[in-house]
Amino acid sequence: MNKEKRIYSGASPSEVEADLYELVNFQEQGLPMEILTRLIQERLVPHLVRYDRPEFQSLYNFMPEKGALLGAAVALRHNQGVTNWQVSPGGVMLEELCTRAMCGLFGLPANSDATFMYCGTYANQQAVYLALHRHAEQMGFDLSSRGIRGFPHPDRLRVVVSEEAHFSLRHAVRMLGLGEECMIRIPVDEDYGMDVTEIPRQLKKGGQARDIFCVVSTAGTTSTGTIEPIQALAELCKREEAWLHVDGAYGLAFSLLPELSRRFTGLESADSLTWDPHKQFGVPIPSSLLFVRRAADLKRMAIYGEYFNRKDDPEPNPGLKSPPSTRPLSALPLVTTVRYQGLAKLRERLRAPLTAIRKLSEQLEAEADIEVCHTPQTGILCLRMKPPHVPATELDSLQRFIYDHIKQEGRRSISMTRLADRTVLRLVALSPSVTFEALKETISDIRALAGRFSSRPV
Amino acid sequence: MNKEKRIYSGASPSEVEADLYELVNFQEQGLPMEILTRLIQERLVPHLVRYDRPEFQSLYNFMPEKGALLGAAVALRHNQGVTNWQVSPGGVMLEELCTRAMCGLFGLPANSDATFMYCGTYANQQAVYLALHRHAEQMGFDLSSRGIRGFPHPDRLRVVVSEEAHFSLRHAVRMLGLGEECMIRIPVDEDYGMDVTEIPRQLKKGGQARDIFCVVSTAGTTSTGTIEPIQALAELCKREEAWLHVDGAYGLAFSLLPELSRRFTGLESADSLTWDPHKQFGVPIPSSLLFVRRAADLKRMAIYGEYFNRKDDPEPNPGLKSPPSTRPLSALPLVTTVRYQGLAKLRERLRAPLTAIRKLSEQLEAEADIEVCHTPQTGILCLRMKPPHVPATELDSLQRFIYDHIKQEGRRSISMTRLADRTVLRLVALSPSVTFEALKETISDIRALAGRFSSRPV
């Protein structure tokens, strides 16, 4: 096969290991820069994945946008730690101004605030912690001192999520000492977003008294990119006095598109929101934001120190808003990409892959050998090949066969997941380079592979 | 003052805000690259701190080393997500090989393993979680399902740390649902490291039954860089069946120096270790490693998914070893800095600031107007000015006066902390550019400022 057509080398783990070994063969003496540069170019770069190819249709990765690269390069060279004023006055103020500007961009209330986090996983963890902390306050004790045992009935604490919530929520409740048994998972509707009509029945289950302190709406589920309802959950939260968290790591960006804004009705009443600018905004990983509706809510994270982040420091200390004491200048690439592209172009970039996915979905609806699994709301489409020669009982194996072959060929990258207990193929269009035509070519490949599938392995 | 001599602009928060406003003044239309570049150079860069100056003697920051920059630039351009094989075969294998090589470099047992974390704070959090998880297993239940309420006596759970442990341990027990009441803080000795002779008395306090599941030794305390004992705590852990965590975020690197290795006796029996290569190794932030003595211990973090990190994936998935599903190619700058410099030069770089700090400390011991607060073990020295004209009751105010003036002048950067309830000045030599001469100049400045101090504010 033409190597140029691959999106990575296609090498096996042992081949990659053999190539890379020299890089980690640490020696007393150093290597000249030219030799080291050549080692990286020849041994490592071929095994990296070219996210900028239109054939990369599997995951939320991309090559950084040009404006973002400018900011990232400055951040890299100056390596500013954005924890407090002393360590970087410019970095600290830029983060403060950038988070305020982002609150404005997303239409959050005047008194909202945000903090840069490393990734959506830690942002979600912090959101659930804040919810639990406020709940403890309402019960009259300080969670940060007493921990979960301060609750009269720790076994009743519950977080409500949908069955399609991201696994970072499972990490969150594990690491918060709650355990996964605290999760109430609401079944999903035909588009694989939370079915809010199911909530009353699910809450009644089990019979015992339950203490719901947090409800999570996923704005952009991982499997299908579905924006779950926010308004209905906001009402539930009001009744239960619970905290509403919107996990918009993938989807929140789409609230900037007027044609999608109705899906985000109720957003302004979320207590917290997670967003990953490193998904569609072209900034390098890692870069996430955790928004809170009331700036004061982040004060629950503050631990004052003596060597820095002192209680009496007059200047802003972003390091008080989250646990890490090492914080990079993540605001800069975000600011430069927005300023370089401008909001109009950003919206275009956001829209293009959605249009491509929708067009593909509409076209595939008419084709007999493909089952379109959901109506795509954003840039993800799950489908299932069902050619006439493959019996229903073999369809899961067929999807896996297609996925494995595409991975081995290395010319394109798609993903695979499970929906309603069935294996499906998943196409992701994150950057505008993933066009309708590129998606159609993938369908051709998939169809050709399906034709080669025989229910008895050869 | 000559602006060139400053390590940053010295501007006030409102001045910095005014300069930066244009950067976050988001518009529909984009800005040409030249204008954006100039905006950053003129408006932001002057307010960044020049960590490469010998006068930067306050915190653990620096400019990236040349070899590290090479790797970081490649990582930035390719923006690889190092979670699983599909998203970056080269990135995944490089992380696996790099963590194994690092285990070898630090002399950890053959079956040890490590994972890249964003920062020491999250590494410490994960270490305490792993300790608690194992403790739950010993009691016959699964922490990730049942949470802390699975313990028969959650109120008895205890973590032992020294009074000088980093505040990230406080974040860890807060966010793990234990609350700070679970901490037993052991007083420190004259060098501000844990006084192990105090342990029996502290453990007896309170009288009630206590369930110690984790003991933390800080290898390189934040205030004084003191390496706390490891061997004695390993013995305590054996008796209590507790997990030994070594927080070596700052200090672990010094175990590579033969002349300091005896301070790390017992290191091989630690269950887990935190290390920040972004401190002395010249790699850009963020970059931390969490080591475990038994590779299998990290399996407690694994959450398998359907869209990636599948249980039946044949290839390595570093994303299973920690919560984040977004993980950058942090291994690359670490590998390139070690290969470019070579181990011999790395040890020289590690040693130079230690030598400078020790020489300064020895010289200051003889000076009547300065109290050297501890015998420096690594690259940090805390001292207290006590000129004859300032009464003992005013000495705290004097240190603050000196610190504030140096911060305002902007020609150098020192830090301030509290030791044994007294305010002290703190000098940090992290990079070899902080020489003995540069430290001596700081002492001259400090002394001159002390001479200007009057107990009645003018």
CATH number of the domain bearing residue A148: 3.40.640.10
Are A61 and B72 in contact (CB < 8 Å)?
A: no
Say whether both A153 and A297 belong to one domain: yes
The pLDDT assigned to B80 comes to: 96
State the pLDDT at residue B208: 75
Domain final residue, candidates A258, A293, A328: A328
Same structural domain for residues B210 and B84? yes
Quick one: average pLDDT of B286-297? 97
Q: What is the value of pTM for the model shown? A: 0.97
Q: Tell me which chain B residues have a C-beta less than 8 angstroms from the C-beta of A318.
A: none
Q: State whether residue A115 sits within 8 Å of chain B by CB.
A: no
pLDDT at A1 over 80: no
Q: Where are the alpha helices (DSSP H) in A266-394?
A: 331-365
φ, ψ of residue A106 to 5 degrees: the values are -90, 5
Mean pLDDT for A181-194 is 97
Asked if A177's CB is within 8 angstroms of B97's CB, the reply is no
Q: Which of residues 118-177 of B touch A (CB under 8 A)?
A: 118-122, 125-126, 129, 132, 142-150, 154-155, 166-168, 170-171, 173-177
Pair A87, B59: CB distance under 8 Å: yes
HEC sequence for A95-154: HHHHHHHHHHHCCCCCCCEEEEECCHHHHHHHHHHHHHHHHHHHCCCCHHHHCHHHCCCH
- Do A347 and A322 lie in one domain? The reply is no
Q: Which of A297, A328, A359 is the last residue of a domain?
A: A328
* Residue B239 is assigned to a structural domain of this protein: yes
A90–B44 CB contact, under 8 Å: yes
Q: Is the dihedral of CA B142, B146, B148, B152 positive or negative?
A: negative
Nearest by Cα to A360 from A455, A429, A458: A429
Instruction: Look up the ipTM and state it.
Output: 0.96
SS3 A312: coil
Residues ≥6 apart with Cβ < 8 Å to B390? B398, B450, B453, B455
Q: How many domains does chain B have?
A: 2
**What pLDDT is recorded for position A457?**
54
Q: How far from B383 is each of B54, B357, B373, B399, B419, CA to CA, in Å?
A: 19, 12, 5, 9, 10
Chain B residues near residue A284 by CB distance under 8 angstroms: 76, 79, 328
Question: Beta partners for A194?
Answer: A188
**Residue of B6, B21, B48 to mutate for A, most A C-beta atoms under 10 A:** B48
Residue B276 to residue A305, Cβ atoms within 8 A: no
**Neighboring chain A residues of B20 at a CB cutoff of 8 Å:** 90, 93-94, 97
One domain, residues A324 and A349: no
The pLDDT assigned to A3 comes to: 57
Judging contacts by C-beta atoms under 8 Å, the chain A residues touching residue B48 are 78, 80, 88-91
- Please report the residues numbered 333 through 372 in chain A whose beta carbons come closer than 8 angstroms to any beta carbon of chain B: 335-336, 338-345
Instruction: Round the average pLDDT of chain B to a whole number and report it.
Output: 95
* pLDDT for the residue A456: 60
pLDDT at position A251: 98
Among residues of chain B, what percentage have pLDDT more than 90? 92
Reported as a pLDDT band with limits 50, 70 and 90, residue A16 is: very high
B45 pLDDT more than 90: yes
Final residue of a structural domain among A295, A328, A361: A328
Residue A52, domain member (yes or no) = no
Amino acid at A340: Y
A237, A380: one domain: no
- What is the pLDDT at residue B1? 46
Restricting to A residues 406-435, those with a Cβ less than 8 Å away from any Cβ of B are: 407, 413, 415-418, 426
Which of B26, B176, B182 is the best substitution to test chain A (most A C-beta atoms within 10 A)? B26
Q: Is residue A218 in a domain?
A: yes
- Give the CATH number of the domain where residue B438 resides: 3.90.1150.170
In a domain, B18, yes or no: no
Q: How far is CA A437 from the centre of its chain?
A: 26
Angstrom distance (rounded) from CA A243 to CA A233: 10
A434 within a domain of the structure (yes/no): yes
Torsion sign over Cα A299, A300, A305, A311: positive
A272 touches chain B (CB under 8 A): no
Residue A458 has pLDDT above 70, yes or no: no
State whether B351 and B335 are in the same domain.
no
In the stretch 365-404 of chain A, residues with CB closer than 8 A to chain B read none
> Inter-chain contact B67–A97, Cβ cutoff 8 Å?
no
Determine the 3-state secondary structure of B197 from DSSP. Answer: helix
Question: Could you say which residues from 192 to 211 on chain A have a Cβ atom under 8 Å away from some Cβ of chain B?
Answer: none
H-assigned helices in A298-426: 331-365, 395-409
Is the model more confident about B10 or about A380? A380
Residue A348: which pLDDT band, with cuts at 50, 70 and 90? very high
How far CA B374 is from CA of A47, B71, B76, B218, in Å, comes to 50, 38, 42, 17
Contact B233, B241 (CB under 8 A): no
- Contacts with A60 from chain B: Cβ below 8 Å: 81
Cβ B47–A90 below 8 Å, yes or no? yes
What pLDDT does A455 receive? Answer: 66
SS3 content of chain A, % helix, strand, coil (to 5): 50, 15, 40
The answer on pLDDT for A2 being more than 70 is no
Which amino acid, one-letter code, is at A218? T
Backbone torsions φ then ψ of B308, nearest 5 degrees: -160, 180
The whole domain housing B97 covers 68-341
C-alpha–C-alpha distance, residues A275 and A281, integer Å: 11
What average pLDDT does the segment B175-182 reach? 97
B458 pLDDT more than 50: no
What is the tens place of the pLDDT at every residue in B70-99? Answer: 999 999 999 999 999 999 999 999 999 999
Can you read off the two tokens belonging to residue B150? 């699975």
pLDDT tens for each residue of A243-264? 999 999 999 999 999 999 999 9
- B97–A contact, CB cutoff 8 A: yes
B357, B373 contact by CB (below 8 A):
no
3-state SS assignment for residue B394: helix
Report the amino acid identity of residue A224: T
Tell me: the pLDDT tens digits for B183-230? 999 999 999 999 999 999 999 887 778 999 999 999 999 999 999 999
CA of B95, closest CA in chain A: separation in Å?
Answer: 10
Average pLDDT over residues A264-277: 97
Q: List the 301-320 stretch of B: residues with Cβ below 8 A of A.
A: 303, 305-308, 314-316
**Is residue A194's pLDDT more than 70?**
yes
Whether residue A352 lies inside any domain: the answer is: yes
One domain, residues B314 and B447: no
Identify the DSSP state of A41. Answer: I
Position A431 pLDDT exceeds 70:
yes
Question: Which secondary structure element, helix H or strand E, spans residue A248, and what is its range?
Answer: none
Contacts of B410 in chain A (CB under 8 A): none
With respect to residue B37, please indicate whether it lies within any of the assigned structural domains. Answer: no
What confidence tier does B457 reach under pLDDT thresholds 50, 70, 90?
Answer: low
Residues B318 and B395 reside in one and the same domain: no
Would you call B40 and A336 a contact, using CB atoms and an 8 Å cutoff?
yes
A89 to B306: CB separation less than 8 angstroms, yes or no: no
End-to-end CA distance of chain B: 22
> Do A273 and A362 reside in the same domain of the chain?
no
Answer whether A91 touches B (CB < 8 Å).
yes
With a CB cutoff of 8 Å and minimum separation 6, the contacts of B56 are B7, B49, B50, B62, B412, B413, B434
Mean pLDDT along residues B102-124? 97
Average pLDDT over residues B363-367: 96
User: Closest approach of chain B CAs to the CA of A64, in angstroms?
Assistant: 7
In a domain, A62, yes or no: no
User: Do B324 and B392 lie in a common domain?
Assistant: no
Within 8 A of B326 by CB-CB distance, chain A residues are 118-121, 276, 278, 285-286, 288
Query: How would DSSP label each residue in A338-350?
Result: HHHHHHHHHHHHH
Q: Which residues of chain B make contact with A105, given a CB cutoff of 8 A?
A: 26
Q: Are residues B296 and B404 in the same domain?
A: no
The distance between the two most distant Cα atoms of chain A, rounded to a whole number of Å, is 74
Residues A321 and A201 both lie in one domain: yes
Q: Which of A175-184, B1-10, B104-113 has the lowest mean pLDDT?
A: B1-10
